Amino acid sequence: MLMVLSQPAVRVLAVTCVKGNTRDVQQGCRNALRVLQVAGRMDIPVYVGASLQLMGHDVFDHTYWNGVDGLGDVPDVNPPDYSLINQTEHAVLTLIRMSKAYPNQITLIALGPLTNLALARRMDPDISSRFKEIVIMGGNVRGVGNMDVAAEFNFWMDPEAAQVVLREYKCPMKVVPWEVCQEQGLEWGFITSWLTADTPKARFIRDITHNLTQQQQQDGALTYTPSDTLATAVAMDNALAQTASNVYATVETKGVAVTSCGKRGYVLKREPSDNSPLLDLLHHPYQICICRPDLQTTETVDQLRQTVGFEVCLQLFQCVAL
């Protein structure tokens, strides 16, 4: 969110929250307000969204990668006014209302489970064609997971919602999957120098990511994985994606599409073909953004620095800490 707010040419209309990496959606809303306060943008409204998955499966990641509160469990010595959280209009209704007020003008950046979007489609089917574009951080394309062997967190949290969005939304969509985020890791040296800036934003990011980055380095990670930030950067500058493949896709929910796998939340993709039996189930192609997947993780940072796209990503990172 700080990346978007650092770009003067981008107008942020609202923040809509969903149950994701916090135990309840209200905590996610409080976190959003904390970020907005650091950015000096308390004028942007925050809306409460879905508090449970589409099918009612109350799953949750108890590893607490980002702390129990979702922001590294860092005490807030200057908390924002949490009464500013909009409790009168549900986030799903906000999406419907704003898509009507700004038809084909809104780029929606989806960085959590897709429950709100799926519910919006059920309440107003026409919303699927009213966004200019939807950029999604989630899913995977080669069966590499971060929740289990084959599922990425956002799609694992609510695979049925992800299935509704990929099958039924008709507006242009870009998906930045987990494997791509892994391949575009940022060197720890860059992260350290980036966060040493003596600014409120840099101090805030340094504090809330301290435990996460320490754990990743202890686990032997060669680079920092900027999942949400990479998807946000793609939304703001399409040139960042060196390669984008148009494919038809679905999400595994019952062990039907991938009978040998059966893992919930696994993304199945197929190139458009008259011989594909999946075409009877799928209705709309989306783009999978790939930044030079042929490179190994240890080579990616140095080689991609020579491309325009990756320099744009680094510049956007640096803007956040200003």
- Where residue 212 sits, what CATH number does that domain have? 3.90.245.10
Tell me, what's the pLDDT at 68?
A: 85
Tell me, what's the pLDDT at 185?
A: 87
Tell me, what's the pLDDT at 260?
A: 43
Q: Among positive and negative, which fits the CA dihedral 36, 91, 119, 284?
A: negative
Tell me, what's the pLDDT at 46?
A: 98
Tell me, what's the pLDDT at 243?
A: 79
Tell me, what's the pLDDT at 244?
A: 80
pLDDT, averaged per 10 consecutive residues of the chain (322 residues), comes to 91 95 92 96 97 83 74 91 96 98 97 97 98 94 79 90 94 91 89 88 92 87 90 88 80 64 51 35 35 33 35 49 50
Tell me, what's the pLDDT at 239?
A: 81
Q: How many domains does the chain have?
A: 1
Tell me, what's the pLDDT at 226?
A: 86
Tell me, what's the pLDDT at 309?
A: 41
Cβ atoms within 10 Å of 83's Cβ, excluding its own: 7
Decide if 132 contacts 104 (C-beta within 8 A).
Answer: yes
Could you please report the per-residue DSSP string of 212-256? HHHHHHHTT-SEE--HHHHHHHHHH-GGG-SEEEEEEEEE-SSSS
Tell me, what's the pLDDT at 266?
A: 53
Tell me, what's the pLDDT at 14?
A: 97
Tell me, what's the pLDDT at 141?
A: 81
User: Considering the entire predicted model, what is its pTM?
Assistant: 0.82
Query: 159: which residues sit within 8 A by CB, 6+ positions away?
Result: 151, 251, 252, 253, 264, 265
Domain interval for residue 166: 2-320
